[in-house]
Structure 1
């Protein structure tokens, strides 16, 4: 639901923080031997969140851009 809120304009600083935590927890779980997602997928998702944070600083809108969604969705699969 957090991801859905952040793609529909209903995001917040708290929800973005939850996405950051999700990204890193999934990375560390994989690093422990569970999963086989390429590291570049995590790097791209991290870049998506970073750009979202930068936009939020300027525009005060906590939202992921539609064009960036597939990069983050790849981590969720």
Structure 2
């Protein structure tokens, strides 16, 4: 999702990952700071707004660590 290689499908998958991981954590399986989820949600919203304005689907490089933390958390949760 960095550069100009993103698309609607990839952003949709990130949205699903963020919300699913948050809800599984909320059920007792995780310890990622909830601020990370809120910031990831804001980054996704910015991405959607940019896509609407410029037809460019990408996340800012500074947003990558949040999504990496959520991916790590998802990997530790039950399948």
Which TM bucket (shorter chain)? 0.7 to 0.9
Matches within 5 A, 1:1-77: 6-77=1-72
Unaligned stretches of 5+ in structure 1?
Answer: 1-5
TM-score by length of 1: 0.84
Higher RCO (C-alpha under 8 Å, 6+ residues apart): 2
CA contact (8 A) 1:13 1:62 kept: yes
CA distance in 2, matches of 1:67, 1:33: 28
Indicate the SS of the match to 1:74. helix
